[in-house]
């Protein structure tokens, strides 16, 4: 039996992870602490509703009192997904990124230290390494050179985690994963944006020349890696997690349109993201060697399943693509037009 506190478990990766854990370990107890921002959605957790091993607490990771009280219940592991996660939003306003991603991580680390948690797993990102111009890949030893306010806030959180390990001996593991895709991803991110716009026969905005490269991993493969790390990861270590699957944005969009039988004429080239990282690629031999993990879902297969999911769950994404979402897009594009 393991008692786990998952933060941000109502978001894309967090909700997939909560469902994954309770499916794989029916005797574990999982508590989900989530503020339910625009990106948090309890509908993502329908599969575990009513499961006696699942508990939900609505709250903010920056709330010291709440975090202290919760961790006082005695948890073996904290898995920190809670974050502001969208690069474009961090360019519009970085303050919530600093509050949640940096201050929130510090509050959780402090609570974990006070209450002697056995493992603090920080879910970080390849974006902390910055952009790769030349061939090669980022290793766990690559310097942290974040380029967006989002990446800078995640790098700061990684540094705090490292400091809590070295200063207080808190058993911390940091994971740095590449671009995830799969069910329940909020349609502000590239893949669900392309799928849902194509389903509505709307324009598909591709930033700049479309030749920026990302490494893509299915969320289920990411969840499996995190589960392995909970069981076998070594405190103080960093693990890169990647799909070993690099594509330019344009190649990826063409592939999705081909799966959906939609025309490439939907693609519209738009002003580039300021400070847009050119390429991410991760060296993942450490987790492969030490934990025997490898991605199992090929991109084509994963994309077909994801397209199918968005076709079957139109009411889910139609609800979230309204209100605040529409206002955000108007603000973002008017700012870019102004600065372009």
**Per CB under 6 A, which of residues 137..156 are in contact with ligand NAD?**
154
Residue of 62, 80, 175, 212 interacting with ligand TDX (CB under 6 A): 212
Does position 7 interact with ligand NAD (CB under 6 A)? The reply is yes
Cβ nearer to ligand TDX, comparing 35 with 214 = 214
Kindly write out the interface string for residues 245-274 of this chain, putting x where it contacts ligand TDX by CB under 6 A and - elsewhere: ----x-----------------------x-
Does position 37 interact with ligand NAD (CB under 6 A)? The reply is yes
Does position 106 interact with ligand TDX (CB under 6 A)? The reply is no
Q: How far apart are CA 198 and CA 314, in angstroms?
A: 12
Kindly write out the interface string for residues 179-218 of this chain, putting x where it contacts ligand NAD by CB under 6 A and - elsewhere: xx-----x--------------------------------
Q: CB-side exposure of 18: number of CA atoms within 13 Å?
A: 33
Residue 246 Cβ, how far from ligand TDX at the closest point, in Å? 12
Q: How far apart are CA 324 and CA 145, in angstroms?
A: 32
Question: 127, 220, 246, 277: which is the annotated catalytic residue?
Answer: 127
Q: How far apart are CA 199 and CA 259, in angstroms?
A: 12
Q: How far apart are CA 328 and CA 209, in angstroms?
A: 23
Total number of residues shown for the chain: 340
Q: How far apart are CA 79 and CA 57, in angstroms?
A: 15
Q: Which residue is nearest to ligand NAD (CB)?
A: 11
The string of DSSP codes covering 86-153 is -HHHHHH--HHHIIIIIIIHHHHHHHHHHTT-SEEEEEEEGGGG----SS--B-TTS-----SHHHHH
Using only C-alpha atoms, the chain has a radius of gyration, in whole angstroms, of: 19
> 28 near 2, Cβ under 8 Å?
yes
Q: 3-class DSSP state for residue 226?
A: helix
Number of residues interacting with ligand NAD: please give it, by CB under 6 A.
Answer: 29
Q: Is 215 labeled as catalytic in the residue annotation?
A: no
Question: 54, 150, 164, 239: which is the annotated catalytic residue?
Answer: 150
Q: Is 20 labeled as catalytic in the residue annotation?
A: no
Cβ nearer to ligand NAD, comparing 39 with 201 = 39
Q: Which residue is nearest to ligand TDX (CB)?
A: 125
Token reading at 303: 């994309």
Residues at the site binding ligand NAD, with contacts judged by CB under 6 A: 7-8, 10-14, 34-37, 39-40, 60-62, 81-83, 85, 100, 104, 123, 125, 154, 177, 179-180, 186
Residues at the site binding ligand TDX, with contacts judged by CB under 6 A: 85-87, 125, 127, 179, 189-190, 193, 205-207, 212, 214, 249, 273
Looking at the annotation, which residues are catalytic? 126-127, 150
């Amino acid at each position: 039996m393991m008692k786990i506190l998952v933060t941000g478990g109502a978001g894309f990766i967090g909700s997939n992870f909560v469902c994954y854990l309770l499916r794989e370990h029916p005797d574990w107890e999982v508590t989900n602490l989530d503020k339910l921002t625009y990106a948090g959605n309890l509908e993502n957790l329908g599969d575990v509703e009513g499961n006696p091993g699942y508990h939900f607490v609505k709250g903010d990771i920056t709330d010291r009192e709440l975090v202290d009280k919760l961790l006082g219940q005695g948890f073996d592991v904290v898995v920190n997904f809670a974050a502001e996660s969208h690069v474009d939003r961090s360019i519009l306003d970085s303050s919530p990124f600093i509050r949640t991603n940096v201050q929130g991580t510090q509050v959780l680390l402090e609570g974990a230290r006070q209450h002697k948690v056995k493992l603090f797993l920080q879910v970080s990102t390849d974006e902390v390494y910055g952009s790769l111009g030349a061939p090669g890949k980022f290793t766990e030893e690559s310097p942290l050179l974040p380029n967006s306010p989002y990446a800078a806030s995640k790098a700061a959180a990684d540094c705090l985690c490292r400091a809590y390990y070295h200063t207080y001996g808190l058993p911390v593991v940091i994971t740095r994963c590449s671009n995830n895709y799969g069910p329940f991803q909020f349609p502000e991110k590239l893949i669900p944006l392309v799928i849902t716009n194509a389903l509505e026969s709307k324009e598909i905005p591709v930033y700049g020349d479309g030749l920026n490269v990302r490494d893509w991993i299915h969320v289920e493969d990411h969840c499996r890696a995190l589960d392995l790390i909970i069981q076998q990861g070594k405190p103080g270590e960093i693990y890169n997690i990647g799909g070993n699957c690099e594509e330019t944005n344009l190649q990826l969009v063409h592939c999705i349109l081909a799966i959906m039988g939609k025309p490439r004429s939907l693609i519209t080239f738009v002003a580039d993201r300021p400070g847009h990282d050119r390429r991410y690629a991760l060296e993942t031999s450490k987790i492969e060697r030490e934990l025997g993990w490898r991605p199992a879902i090929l991109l084509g297969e994963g994309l077909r399943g994801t397209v199918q999911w968005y076709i079957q769950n139109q009411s889910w994404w139609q609800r979230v693509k309204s209100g605040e979402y529409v206002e955000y897009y108007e603000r973002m594009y008017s700012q870019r037009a102004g600065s372009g």
